[in-house]
Amino acid sequence: MISLFGRHYRAAKWLGFIAPCVLVLLSFVIFPLVYSLYLSFTDFSLTQVGYRFIGLRNFLDIVRSTEAKKSAFNTMLILIGSVSIEVVVGISVALMLNRIGYSRSIFVTLIAIPSLVAPTAVGAIWKMLLQPNGLVNYILSALGASPIDWFGKPTFALFSIIIADIWQWTPFVALIFLAGLTSIDPTLYEAAKVDGADSMQQFWYVTLPNLRRTFAFAVLFRAIDVIRFMDTVWIITRGGPGIATQTAAVYIYVQGFRFFRIGFSSAAAWLLLIAVSILTGFLLRLIREKQ
Amino acid sequence: MRRLWCVVFLASIVAGGVVSPFAVAENEYGYYPGVTLRVAILSGDHPVPWEKFVPRFEEMTGVKVEIIDLPWEELYTKIFLELATHTGIYDIVELAGFWVPDFVVNNLLAPLDEYYEKWDWAFEDIMPAYQKIGVFAGHRYSVIADGDVFALYYRKDLFENPVYQAEFKKIYGYDLRVPQTWDEYLDVAEFFNGREPNLWGNEAMLSRVHGPMIFMQLLHSFGGRFFDPYTMEPEITSPAARKAIETMVKMAQYMSPGAPAHDFTITRDNFTLGYAAMVVQWADVGSWSGTAPESKVRGKVGTALVPAGVINGQKFQRSELAWNWQWAINADSKHKEAAAQLLRYMTSPEVSREIVSMARGYDPYRRSHFENTQWAAEWFPGALEFLAGLKANMEYGVYDLYIPGAQQYLDAVGKHLGDILTGVVSLDEGLRRIADEWNEITNRWGRESQKAFYQDYLRTYWGWKG
């Protein structure tokens, strides 16, 4: 073997090790990305023979489209609604878990269960729970409140998506914050106590600043997930009523896989990627320590 | 002696090998040993009749049949993708009627004309309303599997209640009766709404997917049409279309909560659980009411003509032949003839009659389904009246939009209908948005070709002479 490659044997050896991975990356990531970028500048559709290069027309149509803008707006609403509550509740749960001693692992395992359920199953469960005569309305009626029309009113339909997302991913966010909490140097708390800080002041001046990176990571992780959120929405509301809960990902799915407008949906997917990249860049700057 | 026995033994094997193919081939569906057919159909109820009747076909013809059931959400997408990418996975596919043009213009389906010319499909036994279904651009591409027609299903016990009759007369000034017009329908829905605990005036499919079916029914009930056949300009803002949407908005007011999200399953179940006084829907409601174990309305359901629409003094009695599941053959199938035989078998009068009696999403569509009704008398209480009601509606049958892109046009209606129903946009704004989107869709497909297809659709299905 050494004689086959001569003095390049060492390089060939390493290339041989990484070649399968590179091949997979090229085939399933790089090539589809590049090809989809190319298609986004065409009017390629599976339902029509032939296609043409149309420049930026797809992108302009999307930017001008009321439906696309509404879908993006819905995505932002779900993002803000879900992630903000997940972070607040997640930190609270993490703080409680951090106080638990040797039985913590049992609680960690239990609360992680929702995150392990498939999103389509989560959608199906919450669709049943939020039916007009479902368990949630039954409980509301028992408490003397009026049942809610979860799927017939746009606002409540949006809440139904947010509730399902919060139920599934808050535990995961809590685990991220728990990891962050356990990494905080305990001597900082001792120093704060010595300085006379009470628990609220310790939380505000020690815990939160040291969780800045964890916070940004959790928000980034969840934001990327919510932006490409499709399956749970599809199961619960199908983007309805009308397009009241249609997210960007659902919009792309419908255009690409219902109407087979591959060029158009590729352009929409690239716009979504750009939006996610901008958000990621912004949050990553928060993660980096100030000089 | 041993040699004699060997000769006899060998001769019998040879004789059997020669004779048996001929013996099997005498069955009317041919003999295709070694052929495997893959059939893609909707999951849930549809596979049940296939699983029951396919073994006999397999035995007769030597064909092996694999049933691949696809969930509702994936049905159109998966079938189209597999056919468009020429994987050849499916030989037979199940399609909604208005999907067929999309497949045909992309040369994805095999024409069936030659098989119709060669074999007896008992074509004259098919109800006249369904004989044209499956024909596009002058050729037949699919066979009818499901006699979808809308009918009005109503609670006889409520309508025959003398107390309600007296109250209705007092309020509305005319006798309570099965609604003859859509205006009467709304009066009756308003009357029954909340009259008993957990009773709403009506049910209706208003969801993004199924709402367009009711829209088409009402559009046709008020004498409307989709486009101007000479310009392809949408007629969605016409008085007929406007009245259709207005009627749907009013229907929603007399429905159980979540009306804009009500699809086929919810409306069927709500009616059969006794939550609604009336529903205009497919035959599934009628048969489900009588056969489903959870039905609370068994024996209490009447079947009537879909109410007529009255507009500008003109009355239109029309019942939408909405959806209509059909079976078609993949243009890439290597066993088209065997596949056609399977379709001929499954749609034969004897087999299809048993299929439709199973109430598994395939509804009656042959004359023999309605004439030889011994089976119906034993089906469920009121089955004969149910079949008579279906047949009566078929006499006034009108057709869905059968042009390329129909799914997109109808999705535009479903989408904006939801916004209109929830008050996000006004009726005028909603109709304008539908019109704009229809124009975009037409331009994408090509205005001239769409015009040609639409004119052909009008001539074939509406007898248009233009």
Question: Is A49 part of a structural domain of the chain?
Answer: no
Which of A4-18, A206-220, B253-267, B384-398 is least confident? Answer: A4-18
Length of chain B: 466
Query: What three-state secondary structure class fits B310?
Result: strand
Residues in chain B within 8 Å Cβ distance of A239: 208
Q: What is the pLDDT of residue B7?
A: 64
Within this chain, do residues B94 and B186 fall inside the same structural domain, yes or no? no
Question: Is A192 part of a structural domain of the chain?
Answer: yes
φ, ψ at B276 (rounded to 5°): -140, 145
Within this chain, do residues A260 and A119 fall inside the same structural domain, yes or no? yes
The long-range contacts involving A186-195, CB below 8 angstroms and separated by at least 24 positions, are none
Tell if the CB–CB gap between B422 and A152 is shorter than 8 Å. yes
Distance CA B393, CA B307 (A): 10
b/e for B203-218, b at 16 or more Cβ within 10 A?
bbbbbbbbbbbbbbbb
- For A242, the closest of B73, B259, B419 (CB atoms) is B419
Q: What is the pLDDT of residue A50?
A: 84
Please list, in sequence order, all residues whose beta carbon lies within 8 angstroms of the beta carbon of residue B432, skipping any fewer than 6 positions away.
Answer: B237
Tell if the CB–CB gap between B84 and A150 is shorter than 8 Å. no
Please list, in sequence order, all residues whose beta carbon lies within 8 angstroms of the beta carbon of residue B6, skipping any fewer than 6 positions away.
Answer: none
Within this chain, do residues B137 and B160 fall inside the same structural domain, yes or no? no
- Chain A residues within 8 Å of chain B (Cβ atoms): 43, 45-49, 66-67, 131-132, 147, 149-154, 157, 234, 237-244, 254, 257-261
Within this chain, do residues A154 and A17 fall inside the same structural domain, yes or no? no
Tell if the CB–CB gap between B260 and A257 is shorter than 8 Å. no
Distance CA A140, CA A119 (A): 25
Tokens of A83: 């992630």
Tell if the CB–CB gap between B407 and A244 is shorter than 8 Å. no
- Cβ of A192: how many Cβ atoms within 10 Å? 18
Q: What is the pLDDT of residues B201-220, one digit of tens each?
A: 999 999 999 999 999 999 99
Q: What is the pLDDT of residues B132-184, one digit of tens each?
A: 999 998 999 999 999 999 999 999 999 999 999 999 999 999 999 999 999 99
Within this chain, do residues B210 and B82 fall inside the same structural domain, yes or no? no
Tell if the CB–CB gap between B81 and A46 is shorter than 8 Å. yes
Full domain range(s) for residue A27: 2-31
- In whole numbers, what is the pLDDT of chain A averaged over residues? 90
Angle at B201 between CA B200 and CA B204, to 5 degrees: 95
Q: Where are the alpha helices (DSSP H) in B26-119?
A: 47-61, 72-84, 100-105, 113-118
Displacement of CA A238 from its chain's centroid (Å): 18
pLDDT beyond 80 at A161? yes
User: What's the CATH code of the domain at A183?
Assistant: 1.10.3720.10
What one-character DSSP code corresponds to residue B259?
Answer: G
Amino acid at A60: L
Full domain range(s) for residue B266: 151-321+401-462
Tell if the CB–CB gap between A242 and B416 is shorter than 8 Å. yes
| Best residue of B72, B208, B294 to probe chain A, by most A CBs closer than 10 Å | B208
Within this chain, do residues B28 and B61 fall inside the same structural domain, yes or no? yes
Q: Quick one: which H or E segment has residue B316?
A: strand B314-316
For B293, counting Cβ atoms within 10 Å of its Cβ (0-12 exposed, 13-18 middle, 19+ buried), the class is exposed
Within this chain, do residues A27 and A115 fall inside the same structural domain, yes or no? no
- For A241, the closest of B77, B80, B418 (CB atoms) is B418
Distance CA B386, CA B290 (A): 10
Question: Which residue does chain A place closest to B433, by CA atoms?
Answer: A66
Percent of chain B with pLDDT over 90: 86
Within this chain, do residues A74 and A12 fall inside the same structural domain, yes or no? no
- For B256, the closest of A132, A157, A237 (CB atoms) is A132
B41 strand-pairing partners: B69
- Tell me the shortest Cα–Cα distance from A127 to chain B, in angstroms: 12
Are B435 and B236 in contact by the 8 Å Cβ rule? The answer is: yes
Amino acid at B277: A
Tokens of A183: 């990494």
Q: What is the pLDDT of residue A6?
A: 62
Question: Is A93 part of a structural domain of the chain?
Answer: yes
Within this chain, do residues B449 and B345 fall inside the same structural domain, yes or no? no
Tell if the CB–CB gap between B257 and A49 is shorter than 8 Å. no
φ, ψ at A227 (rounded to 5°): -60, -35
**Sign of dihedral through CA atoms B263, B265, B266, B270?**
positive
Residues in chain B within 8 Å Cβ distance of A243: 415, 418-419
Half-sphere exposure of B46 (CA within 13 A, CB side): 21
B92 strand-pairing partners: B39, B329
Torsion of CA B137, B142, B148, B150, to 10 degrees: -10
Q: What is the pLDDT of residues B400-457, one digit of tens each?
A: 999 999 999 999 999 999 999 999 999 999 999 999 999 999 999 999 999 999 999 9
Question: Which residue does chain B place closest to A132, by CA atoms?
Answer: B257
- For A259, the closest of B73, B208, B408 (CB atoms) is B408
What is the number of structural domains in chain B? Answer: 2
Distance CA B193, CA B186 (A): 10
b/e for A13-40, b at 16 or more Cβ within 10 A?
eeeeeeeeeeeeeeeeeeeeeeebeebb
Q: Where are the alpha helices (DSSP H) in chain A?
A: 2-5, 9-25, 31-39, 57-64, 66-99, 104-116, 119-129, 135-142, 154-182, 186-194, 199-202, 208-210, 212-227, 231-236, 248-253, 262-287
pLDDT beyond 60 at B25? no
Tell if the CB–CB gap between B258 and A149 is shorter than 8 Å. yes
Amino acid at A115: S
- Cβ of A149: how many Cβ atoms within 10 Å? 21
- For A152, the closest of B73, B261, B444 (CB atoms) is B261
Question: Is B393 part of a structural domain of the chain?
Answer: no
Question: Is B270 part of a structural domain of the chain?
Answer: yes
Question: Is A189 part of a structural domain of the chain?
Answer: yes
Within this chain, do residues B410 and B284 fall inside the same structural domain, yes or no? yes
Question: Is B5 part of a structural domain of the chain?
Answer: no
| Best residue of B73, B87, B269, B427 to probe chain A, by most A CBs closer than 10 Å | B73
pTM of the prediction? 0.88
| Best residue of A260, A261, A265 to probe chain B, by most B CBs closer than 10 Å | A260
- For B77, the closest of A67, A243, A258 (CB atoms) is A258
- Mean pLDDT within A11-15: 83
Angle between the N-to-C axes of helices B239-253 and B182-192, in degrees from 0 to 180, rounded to the nearest 10: 10
Q: What is the pLDDT of residues B357-396, one digit of tens each?
A: 887 889 999 999 988 677 777 888 889 999 999 999 999 9
- Mean pLDDT within A242-257: 94
Question: Is B8 part of a structural domain of the chain?
Answer: no
Question: Is B18 part of a structural domain of the chain?
Answer: no
Q: How far, CA to CA in Å, does B223 sit from each of B12, B211, B317, B453?
A: 71, 18, 9, 21
Within this chain, do residues B255 and B350 fall inside the same structural domain, yes or no? no
What is the number of structural domains in chain A? Answer: 2
- Tell me the shortest Cα–Cα distance from B53 to chain A, in angstroms: 32
| Best residue of A43, A136, A238 to probe chain B, by most B CBs closer than 10 Å | A238
Question: Is B274 part of a structural domain of the chain?
Answer: yes
pLDDT beyond 70 at B21? no
Within this chain, do residues A16 and A102 fall inside the same structural domain, yes or no? no
Within this chain, do residues A280 and A138 fall inside the same structural domain, yes or no? yes
- For B106, the closest of A47, A66, A257 (CB atoms) is A47
Q: How far, CA to CA in Å, does A238 sit from each of A33, A52, A246, A254, B208?
A: 27, 32, 7, 10, 8
Question: Is A41 part of a structural domain of the chain?
Answer: no
Residues in chain A within 8 Å Cβ distance of B72: none
- Chain B residues within 8 Å of chain A (Cβ atoms): 73, 76-77, 80-81, 84, 102, 105-106, 207-209, 256-261, 404-405, 407-408, 411, 415-422, 424, 433, 444-445
Query: What three-state secondary structure class fits B171?
Result: helix
- For B418, the closest of A43, A149, A244 (CB atoms) is A244
Q: What is the pLDDT of residue B22?
A: 42
User: What's the CATH code of the domain at B273?
Assistant: 3.40.190.10
Within this chain, do residues B116 and B87 fall inside the same structural domain, yes or no? yes
Within this chain, do residues B223 and B269 fall inside the same structural domain, yes or no? yes
Within this chain, do residues B455 and B337 fall inside the same structural domain, yes or no? no
Distance CA A17, CA B20 (A): 60
Within this chain, do residues A115 and A171 fall inside the same structural domain, yes or no? yes
Checking DSSP bridges between strand B135-136 and strand B36-42, what pairing results, if any? unpaired
- Cβ of B131: how many Cβ atoms within 10 Å? 14
Question: Is B16 part of a structural domain of the chain?
Answer: no
Within this chain, do residues A102 and A163 fall inside the same structural domain, yes or no? yes
pLDDT-derived band at B40, boundaries 50, 70, 90: very high
Tell if the CB–CB gap between B260 and A241 is shorter than 8 Å. yes
Question: Is B7 part of a structural domain of the chain?
Answer: no
Half-sphere exposure of A278 (CA within 13 A, CB side): 6
